[in-house]
Chains A and B, each alone.
Chain A
Amino acid sequence: EVQLLESGGGLAQPGGSLRLSCATSGFTFNTYRLSWVRQAPGKGLEWISTISSDGATAYYADSVKARFTISRDNSKNTLSLLVDFLRAEDTAVYYCARAESRWFGAHYYYYLDVWGKGTTVTVSS
Chain B
Amino acid sequence: EIMLTQSPATLSLSPGERATLSCRASQSVRASDLAWYQQKPGQSPRLLIYGASSRATGIPDRFRGSGSGTDFTLTISRLEPEDFAVYYCQLYGSSPLFTFGPGTTVDLK
Question: Which residues of A are interface residues toward B (Cβ below 8 A)?
Answer: 35, 37, 44-47, 50, 59, 61-62, 95, 100, 102, 104-105, 107, 109-118
Contacts and interface: CB of A to CB of B under 8 A. Distances in A.
A37 B37 CA distance: 13
B88 interface: yes
B99 A102 contact: no
B100 A45 contact: yes
Main secondary structure of the interface of A (DSSP, over half): strand
B28 to A, nearest CB: 14
B51 interface: yes
B90 to A, nearest CB: 7
A47 B56 contact: no
Contacts, number: 72
Nearest to A103: B32
B50 interface: yes
Contact of B51 (A44, A61, A109, A115): A109
Given A112-B35, A113-B50, A44 B97 contact: no
A110 B96 CA distance: 13
Given A45-B103, A107-B32, A109-B30, 12 more contacts: A45-B100, A47-B96, A59-B97, A95-B45, A102-B50, A105-B32, A109-B51, A111-B47, A111-B92, A112-B47, A112-B90, A116-B44
Contacts of B88: 44-45
Given A45-B45, A95-B45, A116-B44, A109 B98 contact: no
Query: Which of B45, B51, B88, B99 has the most chain A CB atoms inside 10 A of its CB?
Result: B45
B32 A109 contact: yes
A44 B102 contact: yes
Interface string B70-109: 0000000000000000001010100011111111000000
Contacts of A100: 50
A105 B29 CA distance: 13
Contact of B100 (A46, A59, A109): A46
A105 B68 CA distance: 15
- A-B pairs, top 4 by smallest CB distance, nearest first, are A47-B98, A111-B35, A115-B44, A111-B50
B96 A62 contact: yes
Contact of A50 (B90, B97, B101): B97
